[in-house]
Structure 1
């Protein structure tokens, strides 16, 4: 009986996490970056590592390693109209799938998934593919991002046009 309850808890937790991740992707596609900021726990980190094997993000070079302050600055640039990535931002469609619940501790769950983004700008479509890891806290009842790691499959190559939030 206990195993059935744990399995049900895991299924419900994964379903809530997936819904949250899809909602995040939809916000980003709509360029609702201020609402995206509200999804975050104040202590959370947004990470786009260069090294596909990196685990110590503070000690390695990353495309992005944003705490709350840096996320706010990034969003400010995106919505200000002054940066090239904001004034001529690509239109995007994100597809997130292949969800795996890798940890379901009492308050924080970790979900791994795959993401494909098609970005359209100036008549050109560009595809970005990545493995994602979301750490989501349910401690307050409302889900909050504690960490989002975006491992682009071509992260060690020269990349351009990744100014938008992945």
Structure 2
């Protein structure tokens, strides 16, 4: 396995653990200042400027989302979801500017108030090298069920 692939995989696994364990500030530190976090709904290739998205956050909105989750008044996360996710099928390609475009599949199990939900999808990260690691400049989460009603999507995807 190449050293770059190993670093990318470790980065994705770390991000997943931080989300699963609600380590919000450390998760947010993985993002660049010009970050974009997008979860389209109704179809994978919608235009977020013209159509509704489940999430379409820049870095400032990510900070607001994290502050709300940490505040204790995010009622949709009281109690917090218990989560674990699996990441697989990692594919890496280089962008023209040197960033890496990393696609992976995920399976996320969420348990909250005795109700278990399973989410599956594909995530496309744009990773920017920083020292021995990376930072996320763009993340698009393509949920398999993005055209269905989702009861509670207040946790981190």
TM-score (norm 2): 0.91
Retained in 2: the 8 A contact 1:46–1:149? yes
1:4 match:
none
Larger C-alpha radius of gyration, 1 or 2? 1
Greater share of strand residues, 1 or 2? Answer: 2
Q: Once superposed, what is the RMSD of the aligned Cα atoms? A: 1.8
Aligned counterparts, 1:118-129, within 5 A: 118-129=109-120
Offset at 1:139?
Answer: 4.8
Equivalent-residue separation in structure 1 for 2:134 and 2:96 (angstroms): 14
Q: Could you tell me which of 26, 35, 42 is aligned with 2:33?
A: 42
Q: Is 2:98 the partner of 1:107? A: yes
Equivalent-residue separation in structure 2 for 1:57 and 1:13 (angstroms): 32
SS in structure 1 at match of 2:80: coil
Residue-pair matches, total: 157
Tell me, which stretches of 5 or more residues in structure 1 are unaligned?
A: 1-7
SS in structure 2 at match of 1:88: coil
Q: Deviations over 1:65-101 (max 9, x none)?
A: 1001100000111111101133222100011111011
1:3 match:
none
4+ residue runs of structure 1 moved beyond 4 angstroms?
none
2:107 match:
116
Q: Could you tell me which of 49, 71, 83 is aligned with 1:80?
A: 71
Greater share of helix residues, 1 or 2? Answer: 1
Tell me, which stretches of 5 or more residues in structure 2 are unaligned?
A: none
Offset at 1:140?
Answer: 5.0
Distance of aligned partners of 1:23 and 1:139 in 2 relative to their CA distance in 1, 3 Å threshold: closer
Q: Could you tell me which of 10, 15, 18 is aligned with 1:27?
A: 18
1:17 match:
8
